[in-house]
Structure 1
């Protein structure tokens, strides 16, 4: 397999979230894909199998397990595909459903990609799960923003959406990795989307990802899409609107995700970002 490396949601190699990309994984089995993902050590690697004109089946593997959908690896894959085959539309058949992606390139060759998620939704969290989640995070109820209730959001994968009352609380991330990993595995949560609202349309985010063997994901497109659906469903924004999510600052890998929230309550959420190739 030809393994490419890209950083998504950034225009600099030292920013954003690195992902592995295999543009043609035809014939690779689960064990081979998991081994490649583990050897790379990135939070996700995408394995594409061409199925037609600008269409591919795709699977996503973390170093420890497969996930149904990954936003940053989708943006990275779209950039890699565009640089190999030209910009334009790309349809990806993921285990979460069909994902349409559009790519464009700037004169210097930087690729911008926009994915449209599957229809999002969110569900309340039980009191017991909330207590267990806060205990694993080593947060208290007083650390939460009461204007943004904790819910479990979905836009291809499930993520608890937990809003901090202050930027300082978000910056101080020292959770119990074993306890959080166990809870997330039991509930089939992919990452925890910790956010702080700077303004009505600007959020800061951090995403613990212990089920994948990663302490923290630097930029999380799937969680950003889930956040967009959550904001629309709870009436916390007035669509159509674009929300900016800043993530990775606390890791020294700053990234920017643009979340397009349409007015259709059943419509997918657009997540836009740039991606750049990393040295082999």
Structure 2
């Protein structure tokens, strides 16, 4: 069996009680897929990242939820960046994901390591009305709940997400969905999470992310979804780049998370956060 070291961290927070927990496994070579899947299930967090080798700035990384491999995971990438910083020092690590190279810049700030990932090139498509209607039905929402200024979209920055923006904060606060129905819909459409957002101001968003395809009811911090949202806002010209937005997530779950999203004029979206050992 391939040997490695397993770390447990919470990303997008500076306290173990906040953020999104992730496993980070580091070894000389990646385990077999079935072994990575078993480890991820045993860890039980929404994702575990597997990284090899143990030295150098060029690494290979794969991501597994308790139920399946995931093409890209932002919070586990931030957690990985912090582990690499703690073990190997500051710098920019080039992570070869299954969807492309994701640079992760790691530095120390205020006594904690901070990591900034740059996503692969984002893209989006308007969400088909049938997909939106089925998702709204599973959520127990209606078209009247949506914010017309941010139309529903399928957005990608390493993984696909359905972006649904609501007009009122209270609608986002009440999340009680049909797990199996939404899971089947998402599997059929190739979605990793739903990026459910409410825009508090021009630069502050609140987000909740159902993740039934990973066997998780809700993700407390979704870096891949944050990058996808940033790419969609820029691509659809709903925001003028360059700009920076803050996404607040996990608060309704008691695991507050803060995701800083830098949206450049072109290229990948930059998502920044800290992570702490748990």
**Would you say same fold, with TM above 0.5?**
yes
**Residues 107, 147 of structure 1: alpha-carbon distance in 2 compared, 3 angstrom cutoff:** closer
46, 51, 56: which is aligned to 1:48? 51
Name 1:227's counterpart in structure 2. 229
Q: Which moved more, 1:19-28 or 1:227-236?
A: 19-28
- What is aligned with 1:80? 83
Matched, 1:23 2:30: no
Q: Is residue 49–residue 58 contact of structure 1 (8 Å, CA) maintained in 2?
A: yes
Task: Give the TM-score normalised by the residue count of structure 2.
Answer: 0.97
- Extract unaligned runs of 5+ from structure 2: none
Gaps of 5+ in 1: none
Residue 271 (structure 2) pairs with residue 268 (structure 1): no
1:96 Cα offset (Å): 1.2
- Distance (Å, rounded) in 2 between the aligned partners of 1:253 and 1:55: 32
Match in the other structure for 1:36: 39
State the Cα distance separating 1:138 from its structure 2 match: 1.1
Give the secondary structure class of the aligned counterpart of 2:80. helix
Aligned to 1:136: 138
SS for the counterpart of 1:92 is: strand
Alpha carbons 1:51, 1:57 under 8 Å: kept: no
Q: How far 1:107 sits from its partner (Å)?
A: 5.0
The size of the alignment, in residue pairs, is 275
Flag the 1:43–1:98 CA change in 2: closer, same or farther, 3 A: same
Contact 2:30 2:51 in 1 (8 A): no
Deviation, structure 1 residue 49: 1.3
Partner SS, residue 53 of structure 1: coil
Contact 2:127–2:153 (CA under 8 A) maintained in structure 1: yes
CA distance in 1, matches of 2:58, 2:217: 33
| Residue 71 of structure 2 is aligned to residue 65 of structure 1 | no
Secondary structure at the counterpart of residue 3 of structure 1: strand
Report how far residue 273 of structure 1 moved.
0.5
After superposition, the CA RMSD in angstroms is 1.1
Equivalent residue in structure 2 for 1:102, among 80, 100, 105: 105
* CA shift in 2, pair 1:107/1:123, >3 Å: closer
Alignment of structure 1 residues 151-230 onto 2, 5 Å: 151-230=153-232
CA 1:72–1:27 in 2, change beyond 3 Å: closer, same or farther?
Answer: closer
The 8 Å contact of residues 206 and 247 in structure 1, kept in 2 or not, is answered as: yes
